Amino acid sequence: MEVKTLPLSGIRVIELARVLAGPWAGQMLADLGADVIKVENPDGGDDTRAWGPPFVTGKDGENLSSAYYHSTNRNKRAIALDFRSAEDLEVARRLIRTADVVIENFKVGGLEKYGLDYKSLAAVNPRLVYCSITGFGQDGPYAARAGYDYIVQGMSGFMSVTGAPDGEPMKAGVAIADIFTGIYSVAAIQAALIHAMRTGRGQQIDMALLDVQSAVMANQNMNYLVSGIAPTRLGNAHPNITPYEVIETADGHIILAVGNDGQFQRFCAILGRNDLPADERFSTNKSRVKHRADLRPLILEQSRNWTKSDLLSACERNGVPAGPINSIAETFDDPQIKARGMRLDLADRDGNSIPGVRTPIIFSETPLSYDRPSPRLGEHSSEILAELEAIEEKRKSA
């Protein structure tokens, strides 16, 4: 059987990052085949190891760290180093001399006192791609502030358009600023690696949570920039399309995602309201958006006569986009999620099974590999140190 080489095989990443954005980037790179070495302080390690419950429990009752930690540290190796120790700090520097990439999320300037800043490291490893992740970037009036996903969701305008119109501003149910920053960081790192391979020169990447969350506001940004009017909260409704919202049925709610006039006509036929598309208030999407307050009660008057399953089946038969609102338990029980193999179950060194979710990328030629669950604190320290010495000896004799 032919063994496929993973896309990033041979790329070494040193992860000096904690919590979510940096580790998320590291996990994606590891899933793509990079050798990601997670460096943690021996005193407790990554903060998220303690962010529970729930915690993963081993067969012998051992606490194997929180579910949160395991969500973002798969496929990595781990070494425990205390930068306050001259010996450990030198190990970190030696490791980085063998690396292609560093990911760090210390405060601006926080690594300079250790000689682990980009300028110091690039002097000895000019090909190094150095990705710095902070809340607000390396410059600007907020650069020195600590960055938190929740605060950035508020500052970016995201919470001003999320939630019910008559309710309080609402954050997302997951840390989307962190997650998006991790994903953008992976794209930037891979681009910088290509540049380094072409030119022999690395560079520093400046990633800021506020930049990212502001950028991914997408059409809401453009709605404001074009109209001069700041969008507001619409609950589950869409600012540019209608009916594109949650609707009520006899036994619960479903999502209706009508994207064009033809779909609207077919949906009205399902409801037995063929008169609605002929009404000038509802004949085009532009007019429906203008008169959404008039349209919604007319739809609900009919949809409440249907069960969720019957209305969803009718929409599917007639080419009208609609879907259920699943709990996470229902999502993992969904036949499509099962067919796509989204759930992982990885065995650790003691035979404990650690659940997870695969990276949502499928390659036809180089399928991703999930070889190990998240590492224990310092689990691979001896292995990494022995390997480092072998690399250094090989370079001396070359």
CA distance 275 to 295: 12
Residue 178 falls in the annotated catalytic set: yes
Catalytic residue among 31, 35, 149, 178: 178
CA distance 53 to 68: 9
Q: How many CA atoms lie within 13 A of 19 on its CB side?
A: 15
134, 138, 139, 144: CA torsion to nearest 10? 50
CA distance 182 to 188: 10
Task: Return the number of other C-beta atoms located less than 10 Å from residue 308's C-beta.
Answer: 18
Task: Return the number of other C-beta atoms located less than 10 Å from residue 285's C-beta.
Answer: 19
Are residues 18 and 47 in contact, defined by beta-carbon separation less than 8 angstroms? yes
Q: What is the CA radius of gyration of the chain?
A: 25
CA distance 300 to 199: 61
Q: What is the DSSP string of 74-95?
A: TT-EEEE--TTSHHHHHHHHHH
Are residues 279 and 259 in contact, defined by beta-carbon separation less than 8 angstroms? no
Is the link from the previous residue into 126 a cis peptide, with omega within 30 of 0? no
Query: What phi, psi does 317 have (nearest 5°)?
Result: -60, -30
Are residues 133 and 181 in contact, defined by beta-carbon separation less than 8 angstroms? yes
Residue 61 DSSP class: S
Catalytic positions: 178
